[in-house]
Amino acid sequence: MTIDWAMSHPMFKLAHISDIHLGPLPRLSIRELASKRITGFVNWHRNRRKHLFGNTLDLLLDDIKAKQADHLAVTGDLVNLASGIEIETAATWLKLVGDPLNTSVVPGNHDAYVPGAYEKAMRAWYPYVRGDRAPAEWREDQRVFPYLRIRDQVALIGCSTAVATPPFAASGFYSARQARETVNMLRAAGDAGLFRIVMIHHPPIRGATSFYKRMIGIRRFAAAVSTGGAELVLHGHTHLNTLHWLHGHAGPVPVVGIASASQNVGGLKPPAAYNLFTIAGRAGAWELKAERYSLNIAGDGVDADGVDILAP
């Protein structure tokens, strides 16, 4: 794989949100509930309904717009139970959020909640999960992930861990095929002098989440990053603001998680937040500034949590 590229901007701003869980939950038929969805339906009414939603997501998106981010990365779980209505609602929401050229999505476990949901979601959200060289229109037989998108001096590589799982499981799977193709994309982007960002839903870190929520294929992913090289990995799933590190081709690679974009104040998890990364420099001399903005204690605005130059 070869990549033609020329830098057009000296600086690039990338906003990162995750675990949207668009609500409220729609009315579901008995047939739709006669599956794993029944456990998710009960969980939503017992727990998530109390602490998710409000206008937290709108507050984050308004602040991202005010910060003039060049691109938005969404690392999964746009929906709750992956019903047809939810998937179409998420497609409408994405159109309101931004142009597919400026918004990149990878799916989470809730987007593939039951068999068949993943395919429906990818078809509905295809403009936002389509690689630059992928077919212009959705094809049933195509493999969407990993995808490669180039924006200015940045290469965005989207991976999927979204698979349907049994009740009471929320694990993800990263295949050997994806690992091989990810390595090829990372190498090509590195040869082109691009800043490489890998997007994935499940945290590719051992012990970062409970066993039943883990990512199967963590070793494969770590090997892909180590072999291919990367500058940044973004994930969701845990609803936590976290920073871990993976071994990279030219040194440690930051692995950054973020709270749910719909989490209100007062819950067990941290309130809604987004990451804002500013990327400057050139290959071999990149500078990465990471800022996090979170819902304030009153729940009516967004405040800065701090600035960090990401270095081990």
CATH number at residue 286: 3.60.21.10
- Domain encompassing residue 112: 11-309
Task: Give the pLDDT score at 308.
Answer: 74
Given a cut of 90, is residue 249 above it in pLDDT? no
- Residue 190 inside a domain? The answer is yes
**End-to-end distance of the chain based on CA atoms, in angstroms?**
31
Average pLDDT of the segment spanning 1-12: 58
Q: What is the model's pLDDT at position 36?
A: 54
- Residue 100 domain-assigned (yes or no): yes
Helices 84-97 and 117-124 pack at an angle, to 10 degrees, of: 30
Q: Which tens digit of pLDDT belongs to each residue from 95-142?
A: 999 999 999 999 999 999 989 999 999 999 999 999 999 999 998 888
Flag whether 2 is in a domain. no
Q: What is residue 8's predicted lDDT score, i.e. its pLDDT?
A: 44
Amino acid of residue 136: A
Q: Model confidence over 168-225: pLDDT tens digits?
A: 889 999 999 999 999 999 999 999 999 999 999 999 999 999 999 999 999 999 999 9
How much is the pLDDT for 53?
53
Q: Give 45's pLDDT tier (boundaries 50, 70, 90).
A: very low
Report yes or no on 112 lying in a domain. yes
pLDDT digits (tens, 9 = 90+) for 264-306: 888 889 999 999 999 999 998 999 999 999 999 999 999 998 7
Is residue 260, in this structure, part of any structural domain at all?
yes
The pLDDT value recorded for residue 42 is: 43
Decide if 42 is inside a domain: yes
Give the span between the Cα atoms of 33 and 44, in whole angstroms: 13
Instruction: Give the per-residue pLDDT at 155.
Output: 98
Pairing of strands 232-234, 251-257: parallel
pLDDT above 50 (res 262): yes
pLDDT exceeds 50 at position 41: no
Domain assignment present for residue 3? The answer is no
Structural domain includes residue 134? yes
SS3 assignment for 232-259: EEECCCCCCCEEEEEEECCEEEEEEECC
Number of domains within the chain: 1
What's the pLDDT band for 250 if we cut at 50, 70, 90? confident
Question: In whole numbers, what is the pLDDT of the chain averaged over residues?
Answer: 88
- Could you say which DSSP state residue 175 is in? -
Check residues 4 and 80 and name the one with the higher pLDDT: 80
